Amino acid sequence: MDGVFGKLRNLDAYPKINEDFYSRTLSGGVITLVSSVVMALLFISELRLYLHAVTETKLVVDTSRGEHLRINFDVTFPALACSMLSLDAMDVSGEQHLDVRHDIIKRRLDSNGQVIEERQDGIGAPKIEKPLQRHGGRLEHNETYCGSCYGAETSDEECCNNCEEVREAYRKKGWALSNPDAIDQCKREGFLQKIKEEEGEGCNIYGFLEVNKVAGNFHFAPGKSFQQSNVHVHDILAFQKDSFNISHKINRLTFGDYFPGVVNPLDNVQWTQETPSGMYQYFIKVVPTVYTDVSGHTIQSNQFSVTEHFRNAEIGHLQSLPGVFFFYDLSPIKVTFTEEHVSFLHFLTNMCAIVGGVFTVSGILDSFIYHGQKAIKKKMEIGKLS
């Protein structure tokens, strides 16, 4: 056994030196203290990294098909009344959503930005007192009111019982409603009077859109939209105004759900109109994003970048409507963020590297200082130091 132990003793890579031969120096003590502080700081930094999750980023090709894109928005128009404002959405596949009202809330604002009224757009319509029949006269027994659509009917049975239905019938025909007072329903409901009462008011409109996951646009503009000679136009003649102030503030605009670290560049962006009327355009590049946290929960969302452009618009010009337009396009590259913890083995390896590295560098530095001091002292003793 003594022979075996002797052979193992010969393999010792760390031979011990008798303490009688140690020489402790002031520089060595300072270096030891500094290296201990450095080791402690590096240990704390590595421990924090181990305890907190790190995010790994990857770029992959987006191969998804047939999905929908949810657009959440909250926009304030301080100088455009809610009765004038409409929302349209369309995409390159040819699908159109004109005068969108579902999942949309409008808030009437006074000149100071205070909320006057909040309502869901397009819910309900004023009742008409003592309605007239389509061909005049009074209602007979069991006969219900059926208002005229003023030439916009698609069949003899179609009825327009309020101003909004007349405007909708005109929109489907591609006609503009130039004189609301000539429409009995609009006159009875006080369409123009309501617009005059809301003059000087603003509007906060918020909600969300569900659109196809293809390139498209959505826009806020005055008047009801319709197609005329395959061109998208808005009926702004009914408001009897020469210009519209489209100053606006984008309180929030997101494409999909929120996830940690997302930055939406249009949040709280404000623009004040200085010209009489114009078209403000935002060109948005949407990047599909998948975020997975440490628990495995996945959020399908999007990031986006944006450029802005403004151009003057003449009232009645078919290609330059006053309004705020958001043109979006989708990137073919998807970004994936994955949260994960550093493995304990990796943490242990880094700890060994920190201790060994700092100890080795400190030893080299201490040896350099020690031998340098000895060389200088020796030269001083023989009088060669000059």
Residue 364 and residue 243 share a domain: no
Residue 318, pLDDT score? 42
Residue at 136 is within a domain: no
Residue 372 and residue 314 share a domain: no
| pLDDT averaged over 10-residue windows placed end to end, the chain, 386 residues | 71 59 71 87 87 85 89 93 88 86 89 81 46 47 69 79 79 73 76 76 92 93 72 65 84 93 91 79 95 89 93 57 91 91 83 88 82 78 66
Residue 233 and residue 97 share a domain: yes
Residue 210 and residue 81 share a domain: yes
Q: How far apart are CA 122 and CA 294, in angstroms?
A: 44
Task: Look at the chain and report how many structural domains it folds into.
Answer: 2
Residue 222, pLDDT score? 86
Instruction: Select from 305, 320, 339 the last residue of a domain.
Output: 339
Task: Say how many Å lie between the first and final Cα of the chain, rounded.
Answer: 61
The residues that bridge with 76 in the sheet, in sequence order, are 204, 249
Residue 249 and residue 100 share a domain: yes
Residue 348 and residue 220 share a domain: no
Residue at 44 is within a domain: yes
Residue 316, pLDDT score? 46
Residue at 95 is within a domain: yes
| pTM: predicted TM-score of the whole model, two decimal places | 0.69
Q: How far apart are CA 319 and CA 279, in angstroms?
A: 10
Residue at 137 is within a domain: no
Residue at 211 is within a domain: yes
Residue 285, pLDDT score? 96
Residue 336, pLDDT score? 93
Structural domain containing residue 48: 22-53+342-382
Residue at 86 is within a domain: yes
Residue 317, pLDDT score? 46
Residue at 161 is within a domain: no
Residue 320, pLDDT score? 64
Residue 365 and residue 297 share a domain: no
Residue 139, pLDDT score? 46
Residue whose entry in the numeric block shows the structure tokens 């403004």: 310
Residue 108 and residue 46 share a domain: no
Residue 358 and residue 217 share a domain: no
Residue 281 and residue 219 share a domain: yes
Instruction: Please count the other Cβ atoms lying within 10 Å of the Cβ belonging to residue 15.
Output: 6
Residue 364 and residue 231 share a domain: no
User: Do 173 and 158 contact (CB within 8 A), yes or no?
Assistant: no
DSSP states of 109-172: E-TTS-EEEEEETT---PPPSSPPPTTSS---TTPPP----TT--SSTT----SHHHHHHHHHH
Residue 221 and residue 77 share a domain: yes
Q: How far apart are CA 145 and CA 79, in angstroms?
A: 38
